[in-house]
Amino acid sequence: MNRTVILKICSLLLVMTICLTVTACKNKGGSNTVSGSSSRGASSTDSQSTDSSGSESTDSQNPDSESPDTVVSRTSSESSGGGTITVTETKNVPYDASKNPLQRGVNFSNFEYDDIEIGYDNWIFQSKYYDAVREKGFDHIRLPVNFFCHMGGAPDYKIDEEFLRKIDTIINIAISSNLKIVLDFHHFGELQTNVSGNKQKYYKMWQQLAEHYQSYPSGLVFELFNEPGNADAISKGGPDIVTPEKLIEIQEEAIKIIRKTNPTRLIVHATCWNDGAAQLMTTEPLLPNDDNLIMSVHSYEPMAFTHQGADWNNTGNPRPSTDFTEDMKYEIQLIFEMVKNYHEKYGRPVWIGEFGTLKSKAPEGARAKYADFIVETMKDAGCGWCWWEFQSGFGLYNTSRDEWVDDALMAALMK
Ligand code: BGC
């Protein structure tokens, strides 16, 4: 047997095992940690000065188009311990990678932390960085934002106006720099561990954002929930921890709310457990006739490589420095076999909203080797992607010197 055949068999076995495990966990009504990365966290600070600009409306997607490629019909629903499992039947249709306008992106992190006040003197308000990103060949950025800590109380849960103005400013800069921008709700807090106690707040958040941005161009994309079921977030425990079934329910409801004012805006939704690829086949495609939805997956495999030097791994010791080796490729290939299966089954694009590797301990040239391999693998699977992140621990750019930090890495990403 050649390597491709062995790979396919292994990936099939892996997917079957995962499906069985997830089903078992669902039946027990419990949670699981099937895939994805272990506990993670980082911080970033850097500062410079302010800029902003306007935006225009050029929405071009078609609200009513029902592509035959993506039509998936539901056949039945059955109850199980933790909720309702919907059985779906699909047309096996060829996947069209060009449906995803998010091809090459980079995360502009900063606004995801609830304990850091980001002022207008931060680098993120400077248009020159957006221009640099565009000129390098990226077509989008992703902006992780934790809105929950900038909202008032029930019943209105009003988003703080001054905070929203900051987000407007960033979106406007990105759009006038000719970049698409994914507004990502990045939240490792209470919604993860108390869904029923916080879902009204979540819906109100999306209602306000949808109304506020309804006239913005189609280059503004909404991402519903970063890494639901994140191991670190749910390890704190809580009365109503997010599960795949609850995630489907709240994401579907959020999409319906957004669609009232934004009938065609591109929306990214997630799988449970850290946007893990292993959940792709058990998280049914939401609202199958909506042609403007994209599935998000994060890929930090292999963690030993991408998180080398990280001390947020629950062992107290930073992961050791390591090169990117041949035997690491296999773990990445398995992830993208699952992605390909999803593409073949549902026709909905998978976008890799986070992948990347820490820089401080990586041997010279190692990050470029990793990028070279994973970018090729993502291309082969028909995925757009978004590197984590622009200028901090996993960064590509040095904002103090105003230069890209690794030419070989950039060449590998942009090839
Ligand atoms: C987290 C960051 C972390 C990154 C890589 C992101 O989702 O928000 O804090 O550095 O993943 O682990």
pLDDT digits (tens), the chain, 415 positions: 444 444 444 444 444 444 333 333 322 222 222 233 333 332 332 333 223 333 333 333 333 333 333 333 333 333 333 344 444 444 456 788 888 999 999 999 999 987 788 999 999 999 999 999 999 999 999 999 999 999 999 999 999 999 999 999 999 999 999 999 999 999 999 999 999 999 999 999 999 999 999 999 999 999 999 999 998 899 989 999 999 999 999 999 999 999 999 999 999 999 998 889 999 988 788 999 999 999 999 999 999 999 999 987 667 788 899 999 999 999 999 999 999 999 999 999 999 999 999 999 999 999 999 999 999 999 999 999 999 999 999 999 999 999 999 999 999 999 9
Query: Looking up tokens 């749910």, which residue turns up?
Result: 234
Which residues approach ligand 1 with their CB closer than 6 A? 40-42, 112, 227, 354, 388
Q: How far is the CA of 296 from the centre of ligand 1 (A)?
A: 15
Distance CA 374, CA 368 (A): 10
> In this structure, what are the phi and psi dihedrals at residue 367, rounded to the nearest 5 degrees?
-65, -35
Query: Hey, what are 144's tokens?
Result: 């992780």
Distance CA 307, CA 300 (A): 8
Q: Which atom of ligand 1 is nearest to the CA of 393?
A: 10
Query: Hey, what are 24's tokens?
Result: 């078992």
Alpha-carbon distances, residue 329 vs 93, 372, 380 (angstroms): 29, 11, 14
CA neighbor of 296 nearest in space, from 25, 107, 14, 149: 107
Q: How far is the CA of 126 from the centre of ligand 1 (A)?
A: 23
Q: Which atom of ligand 1 is nearest to the CA of 310?
A: 12
Q: Which atom of ligand 1 is nearest to the CA of 298?
A: 7
